[in-house]
Amino acid sequence: MAITSWTSRLQGLLKRMRRRSETDAVTTVKSFKHDQEKEAAYDSRIRGVRTIPLDRIVGSVGRYQDFDNRFRLKQQVPSERLQRIKTAMREGHPMPPVKLYQIKDDFYILDGNHRIAAAKELGHDEILAHIVEFIPSEKNLQNVLYRERADFADQTHLPGEINLTEIGQYDLLAAQIQAHQTHLQASEMPHCTFEEAAQDWYKSIYRPLCTIIRRGRLVESFPDRTIADLYVYISEHQWHDDRRRRYGIGVDKLIPKNMEEFRTKMADTKACGYPEMQRGITAFILMNVQAKKEARIVEKLFELEEVREIHSVHGDVDLLVKIQLTRDLLSSDAEMISQFVHEEVRQLAGVVKTKTLIPGFSKSKD
């Protein structure tokens, strides 16, 4: 009986230790050093200061064992430093950017563990950070594509990502931008840089053609391809390839044989031609603001033509703001809303936090 009892106790102790070990593995944030070695990511590039979603911060450079996967201190009693930072954030005091390392789509804290822990506890969605990206060097397909995408992003500084699934396709896009740069330099922008040409190409050529591809629901027939993949295929065959096309014979009516003619056509197209490209956008902004500045913020918001309604509410949110924007021919809903929120709303002194809601379906008695 004694041996059986001790065996049972030992087995129970071992089970508890395994469960505790498994729990620690799950709740501990990821180690940058471990993931850096796994990805062989040693080539670094400074990306500057950007706003980063908190849910993409997954690990820490040095203190990954001190926090769980929600970046809460593992000690039972929160530190005084964390409490001071939370208080400062609640009162709207400006915080310096945290410092993050990036590997692919994940971010790791170099400096600012307590600021990020406080921001998460307070329900913030994003945080300002200085980014240093580490590029994976192992030559598998995924990493080669990632490096090509990173190189293209460094060259162009476009406002949105272009995700291709084949190696070498980014060179084709760069060649299009160079051709567009030559055209602009010979016509309307004699001193046009490559980056300026890239911005104009993205807005006046790439996005309109992607919208046409999306309208035609072509991507549904190619489930393993992206809209960017189809853009490259169609644009290269239409504008740069003399081989016989295998898609619709009426495509020339929609997409001229010359890239610059397509740009001119898109600029001249009226709303009636592409009604879904130009329409009103309704969105709601949930705002947390400093109490002493709420009245002034309401006055400033009400001066904006796009703001239709402002409501002071009780609970987790201080202000509910309804906005109505008009999307132009060459912009997306997300771009228009993001630009308005960042340039007109978040710049107001006393704004602590904003969250934007875009209705998927609306029904009104008005």
Position 274 scores a pLDDT of: 46
Between helix 207-215 and helix 227-235 the angle, nearest 10°, is 110
User: Which residues touch 260 (CB under 8 Å, ≥6 apart)?
Assistant: 180, 183
- Nearest CA among 63, 58, 62, 61 for reference residue 26: 58
Cβ–Cβ under 8 Å, residues 340 and 325: yes
User: Which residues touch 361 (CB under 8 Å, ≥6 apart)?
Assistant: none
Residue span(s) of the chain under CATH 3.90.1530.10 come to: 30-136
CA distance 228 to 210: 7
Distances (CA, A) of 106 to 61, 124, 150: 12, 18, 14
Which token pair is 40? 């062989």
Distances (CA, A) of 117 to 19, 30, 67, 240, 285: 26, 15, 9, 52, 24
Beta strand 126-136 with 98-103: parallel, antiparallel or unpaired? parallel
How many other C-beta atoms can be found within 10 angstroms of the C-beta atom of residue 278? 17
* Whole-angstrom Cα Rg for the chain: 26
Position 23 scores a pLDDT of: 43
- DSSP tag of 245: P
For 30-136, CATH number out of 3.10.129.10, 3.90.79.10, 3.90.1530.10, 3.30.1330.10 equals 3.90.1530.10
Per-residue pLDDT of the chain (366 residues; tens, 9 = 90+): 455 555 666 666 665 555 554 444 445 677 888 889 988 899 888 888 888 888 888 888 876 556 665 555 555 545 788 889 888 888 778 889 999 999 988 999 999 888 988 888 888 888 889 999 998 888 788 888 888 988 998 899 887 779 899 999 999 999 999 999 999 999 889 999 999 999 999 988 898 888 888 877 777 878 888 999 989 988 887 887 655 544 444 555 667 777 888 888 777 654 444 444 456 788 999 999 988 889 889 999 998 989 999 999 988 899 999 999 876 544 566 777 888 888 889 888 889 989 898 887 777 776
CA dihedral 231, 234, 235, 240 (to 10 degrees): 150
Residue span(s) of the chain under CATH 3.30.70.920 come to: 276-357
Cβ–Cβ under 8 Å, residues 128 and 97: yes
Cβ–Cβ under 8 Å, residues 318 and 309: no
CA distance 131 to 49: 6
CA distance 126 to 116: 9
User: Which residues touch 257 (CB under 8 Å, ≥6 apart)?
Assistant: 238, 239
Q: Find the DSSP H helices in 28-112.
A: 32-39, 80-90
User: Which residues touch 123 (CB under 8 Å, ≥6 apart)?
Assistant: 316, 353
Beta bridge partners of 26: none
276-357: CATH topology? Alpha-Beta Plaits (3.30.70)
Record the pTM.
0.54
Position 21 scores a pLDDT of: 47
